[in-house]
Chain A
């Protein structure tokens, strides 16, 4: 489904970024990096409106020619970004939501690990395999 999955820390540096190996990794770095602008904008505007009821799912951040970039922000301001191929029209909003939910759950597990130092890059194998599963389904 996804071609790139990224977890970005509260301070906007990447905790985890993984993309399908077929394409240039740097390109996705750029894509995810620039998408943060939109994420920040969405948080700042939505944050004012309804602080507590804010939906975590941010929806489509922006479409590019080849990809669609979706965002999700946890309450602790950790951002998830999923990039999917534009050609993949079978994906509905609901499916993207469920992917984010899965990602969030897995991330929560990572945070629950007492040996994980918040702010460090995520190296959990469980998280990695979950992300792999997400990406495998697409191809």
Chain B
């Protein structure tokens, strides 16, 4: 006996063995269908008795095992059911012949046999035979089960008769010696009459009867017989049979204690080895009743003593004893080399019992023993079976690791080099079964929580074996998956060399079968989840990037939907709601625009000791339609953090969420979801995508320059101007987007400088551009912008000082002046120190401003979004002219005055200054005075700023503003222009530049006052003609000359009353004035006038007359009689024009 049945369990001792075999050609599936139906009849309650018979079916049974049938009767084939196909009567004899041949095989032990014939119809099928049943087809055989039951009953009858026969055989003179096959030759020539021999025969027979009793359902009888057998055999030291008797005792006790059976549900057998399907049906509901019912025992009526209750308790072993007896039995079996199979099976049975008793330690000892049982040369298949059974048994007692170990050994055995046709599939399947034992799952999610903790060395080995097995199975997809898993989960434990090897083989495999993200389903239903390479490269942070400033969408304020919806009713609360780990769901406060490329920055690093090529790296987005634009990157070995920007274009509007990214590394494409990544920093992954907006590209007529600091600008221009110069900048705006641009607004912002700026820095005309809206994609508009640099023209303080010392008529600065050295650097170091001198030369001032274009269109406009594009303008203003000092001189007329300007040319060029009709040429660093006659100004008539502004601004500011307004007016009147003729000798060309100059900044309060028209305007009319200083009024001698003095009050308060006296005098032009003219000029009426008080804006006139008696040039001086009246008004208010009257001969005389 060489083939162990590893599925054996203690209660199998109770069963009778029936072999079911096909005869002739029977389709396998049909046979197993019938076999299944037959084996469903595994327990039959025998009629008339209340005993039950249990049947074990086998479709394959080695005849040499049958030879051990006397040793343990459950090993004996007692029944044979043959299944055959027979289509015609012609075949019948042959089939019957074969059936008989089969019966011969087990002939010596068979109690009964049956033949099931399928397909045969006709005469033969009509005949009634007990041992043959005919069925028309495999599908049409309703009473198979019934037939089998009848068959079992017939077996029972034989069994019962044998039992009775043997049991009552006590008196028999000669008890035959039962023996196992290998003993036969040992007993040759033994004295058969010795007492010892007789006892041995008796003992063995007792044991045999015990077996039969057990099979026949008489448990108590069996126990008694076993006990007796043990006694007998012990006394003659027949160890093999003593072991068998003890085992029988154990089996009977186990059946008594565990009517549910000991095989459990785990006895799944491999179909290739034994396709017995009777597993899992070991529960025998009838068994218990049989045992409990005393009637069952009495009906047997054989031994009265065994039927008593006392006997039952006494004979049955306790749970502890069962194990002890098993141990004893096994130790006896161990003495015989040829009983290895028996010993092994006993061990297996004991382990099953122990598993039920939950005595794992002892069970493991039995198993340990079983491992060492040598069964001689085992075939590879038997080895595999043995290891898998060991594994199953270890599993049964909860030793999962040990179980996994043996399963792995079995797997390796499947593909042992000695096997000509290695079973890689079986190996692979067995390896998969070991996974739980090594606490390894094939789901990478289980490894995503922190560092991996486990038996890395062992697990890696297993994974390598899985990879190899799946490759040899011819399933490269599977091996790619396993290898990816190995690389992903065991990366920390791989040495550099191993990393290289693994990746190399992975690349080899993927060249044949690229790895993907699909779930691989194995034929047995196991699903292998995809393995995303989240560690190749490792992503440390994910941040969504805002669009560049010029492309950011802005929401039009005041539109509905803009309202602040905060979770908290408080504007501010010190209690901040901690949203720990919730960062990823947080929404980011900027928007992306549909149709525009948006970016996500990942910080990645490469943990591999070699360069890592990541291909096809792109974003995984959800929420809106998204077109990812994948990138390929190459990370250097063991790189530090490395920024990678992934881009894509949202195609629809809505909320977009970054779910992860996909990569393709070593030919394996993986989708890495951020949720499953550990230690990824993110500031939120959801962003709103607004509907598409047009896109403007800005270009200017001037070259671009470096960006201005501190401002987020799309572009900027930089230019150099002389103070007062104006330059035009043409801005071209082209719609490079796909949406039509509907609105365009423009604004400017001057960055705060400490320089005082006069006038508008930037001015533009948008009308032309607006008239061309809407702007279709690809079209462009131009906007001309005037840049007007007009800063303070006043000289600096130190310069003023120098000039003050020097007087007015300087043409150059003193040699000692530091400024002079700066202004006139020596020619030899001019080139070298150009830059340094410039920085020293503090007179260059910088003006910065930002031009903003706000535009919108398309769907985004409907939603209330717009975009802004901005242009920074930076102007370096060089000084053109300086007005170092300003003063006034009264002109001859009270309405006019002379403005004296000390003009300094700080440039290196010749400069022409024009004011009204005057022109002044200044050489470099020359200072000259310029006098301009100007009318006085009536500042009161200037519009005053509104009251709102007045209220808000301080008094000082008001004053400032007023002064500025005054300055502006003066300036516009003066129309000062400069012209620099030779611009630059370095450029080898004489360029002309010109600009305005402004005196605004230099005007002092005093000068302003001087230039202001008096609040009281005095008009003197002679002969109805207004007289002023230079106008000579003609009159005739003898004629009365009417003299009218008119006072117009422009001040805000009433003035007067005044009394005026007119004093005529003659100027001899030599400094002598003659006022004694009483006889030359007479007054008609009074020579003094009285003007009543004049209310604001009112006027008052008083009229007198003069009579010139002689010809001559006369002057009239009008004086105030009372000086005290003007105490609260400035003296300028009382400056009356002097009147020059030329008295001539009457016309008649002249004529």
Residues of A within 8 A of B (CB): 9, 11-14, 25-26, 29-30, 33-34, 36-38, 40-42, 45, 62-63, 119
Known: A26-B461, A41-B361, A42-B361. A36 touches B401 (CB 8 A): yes
Known: A41-B364, A45-B361, A62-B368. A33 touches B453 (CB 8 A): no
Query: In the assembled complex, which residues on chain A have CB atoms less than 8 Å from the CB atom of B457?
Result: 25-26, 29
* B405 located at the interface, meaning its Cβ lies under 8 Å from any Cβ of chain A in the complex: yes
A-B contact pairs, 15 of them (CB 8 A): A9-B453, A11-B453, A13-B453, A13-B455, A29-B458, A33-B455, A34-B399, A34-B401, A34-B405, A37-B394, A37-B399, A37-B400, A38-B364, A62-B368, A63-B368
A40 to B397, CA, bound (A): 12
Known: A41-B360, A62-B364. A119 touches B461 (CB 8 A): no
* B759 located at the interface, meaning its Cβ lies under 8 Å from any Cβ of chain A in the complex: no
B455–A29 touching, CB < 8 Å? yes
From 399 to 455 in chain B, residues with beta carbon under 8 angstroms from any chain A beta carbon are: 399-402, 405, 438-439, 453-455
Interface centre among A29, A33, A45 (most CB of B within 10 A): A33
Query: In the assembled complex, which residues on chain A have CB atoms less than 8 Å from the CB atom of B455?
Result: 13-14, 29, 33
Query: In the assembled complex, which residues on chain B have CB atoms less than 8 Å from the CB atom of A11?
Result: 453
Query: In the assembled complex, which residues on chain A have CB atoms less than 8 Å from the CB atom of B458?
Result: 26, 29-30, 33
A64 to B457, CA, bound (A): 21
Known: A37-B398, A37-B399. A13 touches B364 (CB 8 A): no
Known: A13-B453, A30-B405. A38 touches B461 (CB 8 A): no
- Give 9 new A-B contacts, CB below 8 A, not counting A37-B400, A37-B401, A41-B398: A26-B457, A26-B461, A29-B455, A33-B405, A33-B455, A34-B399, A38-B364, A41-B399, A42-B361
Q: Report the nearest B residue to A45, measured CB to CB.
A: B361
Q: Report the nearest A residue to B461, measured CB to CB.
A: A26
Q: Report the nearest A residue to B399, measured CB to CB.
A: A37
Query: In the assembled complex, which residues on chain A have CB atoms less than 8 Å from the CB atom of B360?
Result: 41, 45
Q: Report the nearest A residue to B363, measured CB to CB.
A: A41
A13 to B454, CA, bound (A): 5
A127 to B368, CA, bound (A): 34
Q: Report the nearest A residue to B454, measured CB to CB.
A: A13
Q: Report the nearest A residue to B439, measured CB to CB.
A: A12
A38 to B394, CA, bound (A): 11
Q: Report the nearest A residue to B409, measured CB to CB.
A: A30
Residues of B within 8 A of A (CB): 360-361, 364, 368, 394, 398-402, 405, 438-439, 453-455, 457-458, 461
B453–A38 touching, CB < 8 Å? no
B410 to chain A: closest CB distance in Å?
Answer: 14
A38–B399 touching, CB < 8 Å? yes
Query: In the assembled complex, which residues on chain B have CB atoms less than 8 Å from the CB atom of A37?
Result: 364, 394, 398-402
A37 to B397, CA, bound (A): 10
B364 to chain A: closest CB distance in Å?
Answer: 7
Query: In the assembled complex, which residues on chain A have CB atoms less than 8 Å from the CB atom of B364?
Result: 37-38, 41, 62
A62 to B458, CA, bound (A): 20
Q: Report the nearest B residue to A32, measured CB to CB.
A: B455
A42 to B400, CA, bound (A): 14
A42 to B365, CA, bound (A): 13
A124 to B364, CA, bound (A): 36
A117 to B405, CA, bound (A): 31
B453–A119 touching, CB < 8 Å? yes
A41 to B368, CA, bound (A): 15
A41 to B360, CA, bound (A): 7
Query: In the assembled complex, which residues on chain A have CB atoms less than 8 Å from the CB atom of B461?
Result: 26
Query: In the assembled complex, which residues on chain B have CB atoms less than 8 Å from the CB atom of A25?
Result: 457
A41 to B454, CA, bound (A): 20
Nearest 6 CB-CB pairings of A with B: A37-B399, A13-B453, A41-B360, A29-B457, A34-B402, A34-B401
A40 to B439, CA, bound (A): 15
B498 to chain A: closest CB distance in Å?
Answer: 13
A54 to chain B: closest CB distance in Å?
Answer: 15
B758 to chain A: closest CB distance in Å?
Answer: 70
Interface centre among A11, A25, A30, A42 (most CB of B within 10 A): A30
B1072 to chain A: closest CB distance in Å?
Answer: 113
B406 to chain A: closest CB distance in Å?
Answer: 9
A40 to B364, CA, bound (A): 13
Query: In the assembled complex, which residues on chain A have CB atoms less than 8 Å from the CB atom of B401?
Result: 33-34, 36-37
A49 to chain B: closest CB distance in Å?
Answer: 13
Q: Report the nearest B residue to A15, measured CB to CB.
A: B453
A42 to B398, CA, bound (A): 12
